[in-house]
Amino acid sequence: MSNQVFAQLVDAHYTPLFRFALSLARREADACDLVQQTFFIWAKNGHQLRETSKAKTWLFTTLYREFLRGHRRGQRTQSIEDLPPSVQDRPAEDVDYARQMDAQQVVEALQEVDEGFRAPLVLFYLEDLSYQEIAESLDVPIGTVMSRLSRGKTQLRKIMTAKETGERGESPIVPFPKAQQGGSK
């Protein structure tokens, strides 16, 4: 693979991979390490991929597996306070209630979602991967992806409700866009 092709691959996928890694690792330094390791593995083994159209899925799968491998070895993760200020202090938009929520509060709530549900939520809603791409990335059946998304959304709603009820004394409605099965959203 030429240096130019590799640079294009990094340019196209670095940001989404970093966001996914940050949602998993919860620390900027660990997320950077995961992304760097993912591209290192691509540099060594990416030429073996038969269909270059599946490079994005391959990268997400590799990153997720590297996270799990490191997590099993007991890599420590930190709390939301270790996130970079740019993630913590991102202003929310004033379009509807879900967008008016404090971005930090949403990030904190997402970090409280069980890890098995967090990864599909991030890949679907933040990285815009299809069910099929998520299934390939996480190496699980599509039905499992749909189930984890559903349970993850339920868990996230409960966490957000508990946070909002504690602060406002009322129960908010947290809408999620309807997910479409199959190809792309």
Q: Please name the residue that has the structure tokens 């997910």.
A: 179
One-letter amino acid of 165: T
Query: Which of 179, 105, 109, 103 is closest to 148 using CA atoms?
Result: 179
**Mean pLDDT for the stretch of residues 22-46:** 89
Residue 80 confidence (pLDDT) = 42
Architecture of the domain defined by 90-172: Orthogonal Bundle (1.10)
Share of the chain above pLDDT 90, in %: 18
The closest alpha carbon to 39, from 3, 71, 73, 74, belongs to: 3
The pLDDT confidence band at residue 25, using thresholds 50, 70 and 90, is confident
**pLDDT at site 178:** 61
Measuring CA to CA, which residue among 118, 128, 86, 120 is closest to residue 103? 86
Q: How far is 56 from 48, CA to CA, in rounded Å?
A: 14
Domains 1-77 and 90-172 share a fold: no
What CATH topology corresponds to 1-77? Answer: Rna Polymerase Sigma Factor; Chain: A (1.10.1740)
User: Higher confidence at residue 79 or residue 171?
Assistant: 171
Inter-helix orientation angle 55-72/131-138, to 10°: 40
Higher pLDDT, 117 or 177: 117
Q: 144 or 176: whose pLDDT is higher? A: 144
DSSP secondary structure letters along 26-84? -SHHHHHHHHHHHHHHHHHHGGG-S-GGGHHHHHHHHHHHHHHHHHHTT-----GGGS-
pLDDT, tens digit, for every residue of 59-117? 998 998 888 888 776 644 444 444 444 444 443 333 344 444 566 677 778 888 888 89
Q: What is the pTM of this model?
A: 0.55
Of 37 and 53, the one with more pLDDT: 37
Q: Which residues contact 139 (CB under 8 A, 6 or more apart)?
A: 61, 65
For residues 37 and 66, the answer to whether their CB atoms sit within 8 Å is: yes
Domain ranges of the chain: 1-77, 90-172
pLDDT one-digit tens code per residue, 147-163:
999 999 899 889 888 87
